[in-house]
């Protein structure tokens, strides 16, 4: 529908402006095209370009209780959109080290800790894939949520001393 309306409006603007001075058709066409994209088009892309829907699905899954989410191999935007306290293991840390650190962080306690990770990084030797809960698609990645029950008995990844970074949002989970 977006493309039909945008195409129709830009064609209409081109026809109207081409009757007079022809040089005005191109700027009006571009203003209409970019105006449609910057307003309606951007709202259509919001679910794909932001992790809002992922956090909405997490809230449906775990509720509004006190929970901390560990992020593995993620975009910084996840921190900005999170209503939950966040833990991560460094942006430039190799993924296997992040997974090992997340496993170690998760095995410390079974209450209120979850790992948000790209589905392709869920290793069967550390996490039970069948226990992963799909929470949506954002940033060209299918995200899954892992709870304490998803941990295997032992993870063969090398134990790590990777630094843990945390962020607690100012706003409560609503």
What tokens appear for 107 in the block? Answer: 């095995």
pLDDT in tens, 125-159: 889 999 999 999 888 889 999 999 999 988 888 88
pTM, 2 dp: 0.76
Name the DSSP class of 15: H
Q: Which contacts (CB < 8 Å, 24+ apart) does range 101-110 have?
A: 101/160, 101/162, 101/164, 102/70, 102/72, 103/127, 103/151, 103/155, 103/157, 104/159, 104/160, 105/70, 105/164, 106/70, 106/146, 106/148, 106/151, 107/148, 107/151, 109/148, 110/148
pLDDT in tens, 67-87: 999 999 998 889 988 999 999
Per-residue model confidence (pLDDT) at position 16: 81
Q: Give the phi and the psi of residue 68 in degrees, each rounded to 5.
A: -120, 135
Rounded average pLDDT over 12-27: 78
Report in angstroms the alpha-carbon separations of 30 from 1, 4, 17, 92, 152: 19, 16, 12, 40, 56
pLDDT at 55 over 60: yes
């Amino acid at each position: 529908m977006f493309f039909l309306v945008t195409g129709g409006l830009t064609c209409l603007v081109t026809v109207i402006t081409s009757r007079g001075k022809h040089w005005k058709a191109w700027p009006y066409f571009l203003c209409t095209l970019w105006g449609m994209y910057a307003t309606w088009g951007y709202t259509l892309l919001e679910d794909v370009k932001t992790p809002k829907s992922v956090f909405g699905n997490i809230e449906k899954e775990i509720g509004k209780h006190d929970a901390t989410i560990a992020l593995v191999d993620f975009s910084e935007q996840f921190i900005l959109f999170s209503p939950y306290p966040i833990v991560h293991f460094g942006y430039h840390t190799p993924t296997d080290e992040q997974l090992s650190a997340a496993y170690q962080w998760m095995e410390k306690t079974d209450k209120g800790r979850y790992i948000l990770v790209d589905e392709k990084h869920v290793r069967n030797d550390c996490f039970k894939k069948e226990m992963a809960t799909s929470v949506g698609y954002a940033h060209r990645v299918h995200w899954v949520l892992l709870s304490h029950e998803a941990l295997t008995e032992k993870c063969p990844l090398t134990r790590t001393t990777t630094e843990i970074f945390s962020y607690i949002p100012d706003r409560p989970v609503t």
